[in-house]
Amino acid sequence: MGITNSNKELNASHIDCGGSFQVTLSLTAEPDIQSNPTDIVLVLDRSRSMAGSSLANLKNGAKRFIDIIDEATDGAQDGQIGLGSRIGIVSFADTATQDTGLITSVDDLKAAVDALTANGLTNHADAFEQALALFDPLSPNAKVMVLFTDGRTTVGGDASPAAAAARAQGVTIYCIGLSGNGGIDEDALNDWASDPDSSYVAITPDDAELEALFADLARNISRPGATGIVLTDQVFSCFKITSLSAPTKGTASLLNDTTVEWKIGELGVRNSEGAALTFTVQHVGPCAGLLEVNEKITYADNERNTVHFPSPEIEVDCDLVTVPETCPAPVDVEIGGCTDTIEFNAGEIDLESLGRILQLDVTLHNVCPRKRVALAVIVTEVDANGDEHQRGLKTLTIPAHAQSTCRDVTVRCIKFVLPEDLDISGQTHGICDERHFKARFIAHYIDNDFTCCDMIL
């Protein structure tokens, strides 16, 4: 069957600035359906919430799945699933029905799919029981269920025992979830599906993606597992990979701080097989907000399997940063080829006195939305007797932020020029003298809701 599922997932949806999280890559592969006949049951949700475009796109996905299996088994879309493989249709709402047995007629399978109508509640337990009843325990065929649902169980009780019974009888279970119709129980899908969860569960919020999900699952069935796998995952430049766990199959190595390479000799060549790789990623860059983790991910194997990975996002929460002072404008200097020396006229820049530049950062805590802040910075120099001497005063307006809650605001790069002719250390007045300074900060809101009775604003 080739690579039947690929996934990339994160163990967190939110981290603080500089925080870490884990990334898990997973693959599932199945043997070739032509030499390993397979019985497949499509278990389809027709509950009330599926009405409209969700049911229409589900039907398109199921019928596309059937066409791909038809061609995979005997090399042509001739209306008959060949070489011993079969497909059955089970649908469910308040209860489940066996809409077909395990058959080979493409027309009969598609007719059963087209006849589905949306109504009623959601009974996953009965869905698994009716699907399992279609399989012949004496058949040598491999057994696969593909369960699709868009909601939580609302009738019929816990489906976990029925799903476990199916897995115990050698049935491989895939779960496809549509989360956009009010929410699904992702933990339940992970419990019902074969392990590892990331290899056998796919979830989308958009019903327009259903046809692609069903097609990707079916398209790889024509290929015999996968050999010579090379997967390279590069994370975005605002992240770096800090540690790498041993994969469940194959070997993995770091090519650099942002790129991991995973190699697997063979997967799913003789039976259904999953593999997973986990690595730890840390936020290191200046970017914040909702960020994509992937820069790019590439996959190749000897069988030319088609593999698609999701691109998960994570919310990175950093302090708001404002830079009230810009750096000085540079003066361009050019040196021609084979030139050993150059004269440079710095214009009206005074170079008579050496000095230092003190650059300060300060964080204002709990600044409320839509309020500007007045900030004063006072710098003094301390002599050997502990007396202070004025060295500078700056007053700055910190722009209001538009976040929904009060946030810390970091003000960066407040610069003071400290000429050496003001050095009061009592030393040699050289650039290497040790000098001591104190900085004081005063901050308050500019904008407020207070008005005196006779004020006119």
pLDDT, residue 430, reads: 58
pLDDT, residue 447, reads: 87
Task: List all residues 6 or more positions away from 144 whose beta carbon is below 8 Å from its beta carbon.
Answer: 30, 38, 39, 40, 41, 171, 172, 173, 174
pLDDT, residue 406, reads: 87
Buried b (16+ CB within 10 A) or exposed e, 233-264: bbbbebbbbeeeeebebbebeeeeebebebeb
Q: Which helix (H) or strand (E) holds 65?
A: helix 53-74
pLDDT, residue 94, reads: 95
Q: Count the Cβ atoms, other than its own, within 10 Å of residue 69.
A: 26
User: How many Å apart are CA 446 and CA 374, to the nearest integer?
Assistant: 6
At how many degrees (to 10) do helices 106-114 and 53-74 cross?
170
pLDDT tens-digit series, residues 235-253 = 999 999 999 999 999 999 9
Domains of the chain by range and CATH?
A: 1-30+223-318 (2.60.40.680), 33-222 (3.40.50.410), 321-326+353-445 (2.60.40)
pLDDT along the chain (457 residues), means of 10: 81 91 90 80 95 93 92 84 93 96 96 95 96 94 92 93 95 89 85 83 88 80 75 94 94 95 88 88 87 91 84 85 69 76 66 75 90 94 90 92 84 90 70 85 88 64
User: How many Å apart are CA 69 and CA 72, to the nearest integer?
Assistant: 5
Question: Does pTM top 0.85 for this prediction?
Answer: no
Specify the residue for token string 């299996």.
69
Question: Cis bond leading into 247, ω under 30°?
Answer: no
pLDDT, residue 23, reads: 95
pLDDT, residue 351, reads: 46
DSSP structure string for 350-372: --SS-EEEEEEEEEEEEEPTT--
312: left (phi over 0), alpha (psi -120 to 50) or beta: beta
Q: Give the pairing type, strands 313-317 and 373-382.
A: unpaired
Reference 97, options 44, 52, 59; nearest CA is: 44
